[in-house]
Amino acid sequence: MKIKHIAPLLALFLTACEKQLDLSPVTNLTNVTYYKTADDAKAALGACYSSIGGSDPFLDLATSDDAIPFLTGSADRPLLWRYNITPSNTFVSNYASAYSGINRSNIVIGRLPGITMDESLKARYIAEAKFLRALHYFNLVRLYGDVPIVTTETTSLDGLAVTRDPADKVYELIESDLKAAESGLPKTYAASESGRATQGAAKGILARMYLTRAGVTAGSPFWAQAAAKAKEVMDLGVYDLYANFADAFALTARGGKENIFEIQNLTDVKGHTLGRGYGVRSSPIYPGTGSGIARPSPGLFSLYTDKDTRKAVTFLTSYVYNGVTTTLSITDPDFTKAVAFQKLWDKTAKTLEGTSIPILRYADVLLMYAEATNEANNGPTADAYTALNKVRTRAGLTALSGLTYQQFKEAVWLERRLELTFENTRRYDLIRTGRLLDAVKAENSFARNATIQPFHVLMPIPQTDMDANPNLKQNPGY
């Protein structure tokens, strides 16, 4: 989506005024000759999946109350954390990559109808592309608010100078795409196709979208819609919680019963570096040593009781190396001695870690159902308790009962924070429930002194994208 990427092509075409150029392709593959076979269609859809990215949790952690970034090194990290955010901050630059993914989905949606291939497979591929397009737009609208709606393949400069559309219209497209996906996707795949979008994934993201749209509005019809979609996922009979919280993040859990949609990785082949990236800084227990990009906040860490089995899975509090035990601290300012995140750490990896990165887990669906049902009924029902307590008891906590509407709501909020830490949900949960400003101000450890303002519920449109497209207007406050 950046004009600068096409500038070299423009320079080539401008020389045509001086002499005739032979612009025949040097290979046989062009947009005209490609997208002709079922294999072409499969490859094009594969490009859509690869555009999902690694889902690094840094933006979520640093702009919420869950973590403190390493305070030296990249200046953009502490600036983001303290809410001295400018459009040039490198950690808000998710815009162009999302539109690259959207364009790949648009290619599949637009090109596949013309390919001669199995019609049922074609329809499924298009449904998958619509799911992935909806996922990109959902991330964009939550980050930036109004964003351009582009539903056809961008083939020239004329397609780049787009304007922003109202968020409500973006949500309408997301809903339309997800509904098309849920009707066109299967409930399950063969093991060889594990990782593709399913009917349950479409329903689950729909539930998350309805929950987001409900916001803080009591009596919103979106509450009932969110509850209904979450219940549909539960009623599919495909998903369940693992008996142990740790099992949901094990290498053996790839494509497992709790992971509704995930970025699947393969150790030392194609993976991530989140384990050592968020590991203890300079610790030798990681290949290449730990980076300590961000450490858990004291406020987050203190919420876990000793009975909560998620605590030991989520955080590394000590380690042994060469027979020497190092005890880590939640308050020591030295990042080489700091408690670290370890939830997605693949301890077998030498280079790239193979643990999957969750985008939607069944535990999240249960908690969405509990929250939405409580709101839709102005108080918890027996089914809402069952959903909430299923998550709690798996973590070794006692089941809850006898709560008021407000108490139940706050119990679900707390459970979401404890269960979904490091899964890119905290910032969005705080925004949709109207608690972001208070939460950020309350977490003032390490002299954060965040200058957060109401306009910070949206990130700025990245400066590079503003420069590339003069038709974009910046969000207020930036």
**289-300, pLDDT tens digit by residue?**
999 999 999 999
Label residue 32 by pLDDT band (50, 70, 90). Answer: low
Residue 340 lies in a domain: yes
- C-alpha 351/C-alpha 222 separation (Å) is 44
Residue 99 lies in a domain: no
Measured CA distances, 236 to 229, 290, 432 (Å): 11, 41, 27
Which 8-state DSSP code applies to residue 399? P
Residue 398 lies in a domain: no
Comparison of pLDDT for 17 and 320, the residue scoring more: 320
Question: Bridge-partner residues for 358, per DSSP?
Answer: 262
Please tell me the least confidently modeled range out of 26-35, 370-379, 447-456.
Answer: 26-35
Span 429-457, average pLDDT: 97
119-144 and 95-111 are packed helices; what angle lies between their axes, rounded to 10 degrees? 160
Tokens found for residue 37: 């076979």
Residue 329 lies in a domain: yes
Q: Say yes or no to pLDDT of 223 above 80.
A: yes
Q: Say yes or no to pLDDT of 264 above 50.
A: yes
- C-alpha 311/C-alpha 301 separation (Å) is 8
Q: Say yes or no to pLDDT of 64 above 60.
A: yes
Label residue 33 by pLDDT band (50, 70, 90). Answer: low
Residue 243 lies in a domain: no
Question: What average pLDDT does the structure give for the chain?
Answer: 93
Tokens found for residue 334: 């030295």
Q: Say yes or no to pLDDT of 9 above 80.
A: no
Label residue 324 by pLDDT band (50, 70, 90). Answer: very high
Label residue 54 by pLDDT band (50, 70, 90). Answer: confident
Span 186-196, average pLDDT: 96
Measured CA distances, 126 to 107, 149, 263 (Å): 10, 18, 20
pLDDT for 31: 63
Tokens found for residue 5: 């990427």
* CA–CA–CA angle 414, 418, 421 (5° rounding): 125
Question: Bridge-partner residues for 262, per DSSP?
Answer: 358
Residue 320 lies in a domain: yes
Number of domains present in the structure of the chain: 1
- C-alpha 227/C-alpha 248 separation (Å) is 24
- C-alpha 61/C-alpha 441 separation (Å) is 14
Phi-psi region of 268 (alpha: psi -120 to 50; beta: other; left: phi over 0): left
Q: Say yes or no to pLDDT of 30 above 70.
A: no
Measured CA distances, 299 to 69, 365, 453, 460 (Å): 14, 25, 21, 27
Tens-digit pLDDT profile for residues 197-219: 999 999 999 999 999 999 999 99
| Full residue range of the structural domain in which residue 290 is found | 274-355
362-376 and 221-235 are packed helices; what angle lies between their axes, rounded to 10 degrees? 140
Residue 365 lies in a domain: no
Which 8-state DSSP code applies to residue 162? -
Tens-digit pLDDT profile for residues 66-109: 999 998 777 999 999 999 999 999 999 999 999 999 999 999 99
Closest by Cα among 387, 425, 452, 394 to 300: 425
Contact between 144 and 95 (Cβ < 8 Å): yes
pLDDT for 74: 75
Please tell me the least confidently modeled range out of 50-59, 186-195, 322-331.
Answer: 50-59
Q: Say yes or no to pLDDT of 5 above 50.
A: no
Q: Say yes or no to pLDDT of 361 above 50.
A: yes
Q: Say yes or no to pLDDT of 429 above 60.
A: yes
pTM comes to: 0.92
The helix/strand/coil state of 334 is coil
Span 359-382, average pLDDT: 98
Residue 321 lies in a domain: yes
Q: Say yes or no to pLDDT of 447 above 50.
A: yes
